[in-house]
Amino acid sequence: VSATETSGVVTLLSDFGSEDPFVGVMKGVILTGAPLARLIDVTHAVPPQDVELAGFFLSASFAWFPRGSVHLAVVDPGVGSERKALAVRASGHYFLAPDNGLLSRVLETDAGFEARAIDSERLGLGVPSRTFHGRDVFAPTAARLVSGAVRFEALGALSTPLRNAPGPAPSSDSGRIVAVDHFGNLISDLRLESGETRALAVEIGGRRARVVGTYADGGAGECIALVSSFGTLEIAVRDGNAARLLALGRGAPIRLLRGGSP
């Protein structure tokens, strides 16, 4: 793993919502230490303490940002306990997150990742509060890293991240729903081999859905499957809300049917 120059971009992902001033405060801390940083929200609407969904969103989005970006992700039920604060370099990007498994999917993208336990004392961060490490640990660390004031290797000692078993790994034929998007589409963790979309269908919730190329290929109200914006198969209903129509959500199993017949 060699050094990666920072891009000047810091992304933010959390379960803080947008009603309170918490996200703004983190940005204020970053700009105080790194006045030229570019701050981009990924989302702050992760359901409270949903570490798994945060990890899925992060792993699906980071690579679209410039190489060398710093990705700050705070879903942190264990804030104030003994859990470590992590800094990770993987796949040409930097990640700052609590050591609670949030980064598991990111680590899978790069076997040569390097992880360090953020050393608040060494970085001169002062004594953090016990309730808001996004502001007191992760934001000032992001500022030091993105501005070049501190090199990644100097953020703390090498550390072995906690990795969550993300449930049964998807096989080539079966997986599960890992997210429901804003349009009610059911996003699975099932990947298709490239060019494999013909004569395929999926089974979900006792129904059969054709694999098609895009939404417009479905009939009105038809339940269809297609490659989602996350790169995995999703279940959609043309001009409708699949999650509501099928009464399904995260965890629901999905199975690929080859040859086009059930």
> Residue numbers of the site for a copy of itself (CB under 8 A)?
7-9, 11, 13, 15-25, 27-29, 31-32, 35, 38-45, 48-49, 57, 60-61, 64-66, 69, 77-81, 129-132, 135, 179, 181-183, 213-217, 226-229, 239
**Shortest CB 24 distance to a copy of itself, Å:** 4
Q: CA 216, CA 223: separation in Å to the nearest integer?
A: 12
Short-list 113, 115, 13, 11, CA closest to 57: 13
Helices assigned H by DSSP within the chain? 22-33, 51-61, 104-107, 120-123, 133, 139-146, 242-246
**Shortest CB 188 distance to a copy of itself, Å:** 14
- Strand-strand pairing, 114-117 and 93-98: unpaired
- Inter-residue contact 3 to 64 (CB < 8 Å): no
- Inter-residue contact 245 to 223 (CB < 8 Å): yes
Nearer to a copy of itself, 89 or 185 (CB): 185
Nearer to a copy of itself, 14 or 161 (CB): 14
Nearer to a copy of itself, 128 or 253 (CB): 128
Strands (E) in 58-204, as ranges, are: 70-74, 85-90, 93-98, 114-117, 174-180, 186-188, 200-204
- Inter-residue contact 103 to 54 (CB < 8 Å): no
Tokens of 254: 């999905």
Nearer to a copy of itself, 34 or 201 (CB): 34
Q: CA 85, CA 119: separation in Å to the nearest integer?
A: 8
- Inter-residue contact 177 to 186 (CB < 8 Å): yes
Residues β-bridged to residue 43:
13
Nearer to a copy of itself, 37 or 248 (CB): 37
**Shortest CB 125 distance to a copy of itself, Å:** 14
**Shortest CB 55 distance to a copy of itself, Å:** 12
**Shortest CB 240 distance to a copy of itself, Å:** 10
Short-list 159, 187, 231, CA closest to 52: 187
**Shortest CB 197 distance to a copy of itself, Å:** 10
**Shortest CB 83 distance to a copy of itself, Å:** 9
Nearer to a copy of itself, 86 or 116 (CB): 86
